[in-house]
Structure 1
Amino acid sequence: MILGLTILSIGIFNGLMLSFVFLNKRMPNPYMGLFIMAHCFLLAKFFDDFIPFNDQFIFLETVADLMGWFIAPLLFFYTKGYLNKRFSHSTHFLFVLILIVGDIIYGNLSMESMQHTFMMSLVIVFQGLIYLGILFKDVKRDKWLSAICSLYFLKLLSILIYQTLPIENNLSHLIIPISIIPMIGYITYKSIVNSNPVVVTSIKKRKNAPIANREVFENIQEIVESTELYLNPNIKLIDLSKELGVSEKTISQAINECTGENVNLFINRYRIKTAERLLIEQSRNITIDAIAELSGFSNKVSFYKAFKKIHAISPKEFIEAKTTEC
């Protein structure tokens, strides 16, 4: 019992402290903080297997159950934010709301709490697998995101094992926590290393832009990201104009008002984001010239210039810094 309580306590304490770090306003992607916090509540729920909750703490189980429905969407939000891709919050929250309502209705109709817990656990696993399937195309080329999703898949697997295998002793209740704690530790460390400060800046500026320009800017983002126009080294403003069916002046104005940047820098940020991943993953197997070309730059000089403008360091210094952090 002492071992189990110690493991849970360490996991919850570390998780909560690190989730607050990610929820700090200066962090670019707060969804990871919420993702970790939701798992902390899930860990807290397992205290009841060692020390039964009294009425004062029974609310923790309710909160943990509710937050369990948000874990998969939060992973989705984090992944899309990390890749700087657009997504709709409302659709996913509506899906979660439907699941919560179904949980409440089934809970009231079910005669046995164990049966209710088993069925809802299966639904949560199914929900998680759906989101992993949706994210597969986005994460398969990114080692960092692939690792997160793989660890999350192992957690889903631990839920199935916990719900289907007979529980022989208290340590059996640690099956799920043991899958969560390493995931939190890995995600926390790697999220700090790979966080991208560009995302927050553009979101903040976008809120102050006129509604019409914001809509144009969102359309620009969607086209650029879905077609990966930035990988074309010869892309010009007129090409964006033809794709969107709006004037070049409107595009320039929308980008400037929503990001405070010109079109060239806006496109280069996407290229540099691609280059960052290649530098981290393939730096030993590929030349800087090749990375520049694969990222959409016409030559190494323009790549170096854009990289230093955005990061204030050279690509070589960037690799050295990442190597030191690892």
Structure 2
Amino acid sequence: MNLEYQLIFFFSALGAFNGFLLSFYFAFKAKKSQVPSNYFLACLLLVLSVRIVKSVFFYFISGLSETFIQIGLSACFLIGPFLYLYLQSQFIAPKKNYRLLHILPYILIITVIGIAFPYWSERLLWTTYFVRVIYLQWLTYIIFSGLVLKPVFKKFFSSSEKFTDKDLWLSSIFFGTTFIWIGYFVGSFTSYIVGALSFSFILYLVILVLIFQRKKTTLFFDEKIRYKNKEINLVVIDEISNKLHLIQDKELFKDANLKLADIALAFKTSPHTLSQYLNDNLGKSFSLFINEYRIEEAKRLLHSNDNYTIEAIGYESGFNSKSTFFTTFKSLVGITPSAYRKQGN
């Protein structure tokens, strides 16, 4: 193996190894910080790393076990769903049945296909048809994920809405995964190792973003404030619980620019304590907590005020864009605002 091949092997293999480490890291942080969305990120990095390891060994090592090749290709079937679920979970909390709908069927499919048509005996079938279906499914979920981030992309071109560090992080995850898909697609016409190198490049780029942004924000854990290793005492819990009605009574949720610090000020507590209360006692992020109030208000307006357009109701309820309102409403209620209005007529 000449120097050029050694360098390519080193960087692509190191990228996959770091991917596994980051996967375990985010899984550990998810368990410790009680932020479920990090499980999706951990799983996304895990299946990407499995796919990359397969590519690296397939390219550099002859006689690679065909079972290992099958596992690597099958992992691609879960990249798209985990990308979609992670990005969606940053805006709303997907229900358990909804999460399973995007994971279990694919696990069942790849298991049945793997047993009925193993790679070692049906190699032509895999390389001709199954791989195409896998990459088409991956691309489909990339498109769905792009729709989830539509409000974020609008901010980038908007002069009235600020493009936040969290928006930058989510965009990096989305475009990074998209770039890796392009790397594998292009690799079918150029070199098979392009996809693995793309992963390494994107991974190092994201790590750099993490390092430079780390001091300014808790960007990677759903903007969750770091807590001390102790629980809030019961007196404070009761005080906050007794003040929750202020959000409804004073219609604080209608402020589209409402922040955790604003509610904390109204409750006469610290943002740190309020965030810990929401996560530990209600199991919700601040954005989900406030959006539930907004959706309840929107439901009331949809049935009581036919003069308002649906878009106007979204703004009246506290949402800062039509797309965010529609996405959040459908995720929490299960149907679109238009369909909900029709149910009340």
Could you state the TM-score of these two structures normalised by the residue count of structure 2? 0.52
Q: State the match for 2:305 in structure 1.
A: none
For residues 188 and 295 of structure 1, the distance between their equivalents in structure 2, rounded to whole angstroms, comes to 37
Q: State the match for 2:107 in structure 1.
A: 97
- Residues 74-89 of structure 1: matches in 2 within 5 Å? 74-87=82-95, 88-89=98-99
Measured after TM superposition, the shift of residue 64 of structure 1 is 2.1
1:43, 1:177 within 8 Å by CA — same for their partners in 2?
A: yes
2:76, 2:135 within 8 Å by CA — same for their partners in 1?
A: no
For residues 268 and 111 of structure 1, the distance between their equivalents in structure 2, rounded to whole angstroms, comes to 52
Q: State the match for 1:32 in structure 2.
A: 41
Could you state the TM-score of these two structures normalised by the residue count of structure 1? 0.54
Equivalences, count: 221
2:59, 2:193 within 8 Å by CA — same for their partners in 1?
A: no
Moved more, 108-117 or 43-52: 108-117
Alignment of 1:173 onto 2:196: no
Alignment of 1:185 onto 2:204: yes
Measured after TM superposition, the shift of residue 50 of structure 1 is 0.9
- Residues 95-244 of structure 1: matches in 2 within 5 Å? 95-97=105-107, 99-101=109-111, 103-104=113-114, 107=117, 113-142=123-152, 143-144=167-168, 145-163=170-188, 165=189, 172-188=191-207, 190=209, 194-195=219-220, 196=222, 198=224, 232-233=254-255
Q: State the match for 1:8 in structure 2.
A: 12
Measured after TM superposition, the shift of residue 79 of structure 1 is 0.9
Measured after TM superposition, the shift of residue 15 of structure 1 is 1.4
The aligned amino acid for 1:104 is G
For residues 52 and 173 of structure 2, the distance between their equivalents in structure 1, rounded to whole angstroms, comes to 18
For residues 283 and 78 of structure 2, the distance between their equivalents in structure 1, rounded to whole angstroms, comes to 34
RMSD: 4.3
The aligned amino acid for 2:186 is I
Q: Structure 2 unaligned runs (5+)?
A: 153-166, 228-250, 257-277, 295-314, 320-345
The aligned amino acid for 1:232 is K
Q: Percent identity?
A: 21
Measured after TM superposition, the shift of residue 269 of structure 1 is 10
Q: What are the superposed Cα offsets for residues 48-106 of structure 1, whole Å, 9 maximum, x if unpaired?
A: 32123566xx6543432332211111111211222233241221124313541564377
SS in structure 2 of the partner of residue 86 of structure 1:
coil
Q: State the match for 2:248 in structure 1.
A: none
2:23, 2:46 within 8 Å by CA — same for their partners in 1?
A: yes
For residues 269 and 109 of structure 1, the distance between their equivalents in structure 2, rounded to whole angstroms, comes to 47
Moved more, 135-144 or 70-79: 135-144
Measured after TM superposition, the shift of residue 127 of structure 1 is 0.9
CA 267–7 in structure 1, closer or farther in 2 if over 3 Å, else same: same
Q: Structure 1 unaligned runs (5+)?
A: 202-228, 235-254, 272-292, 298-326
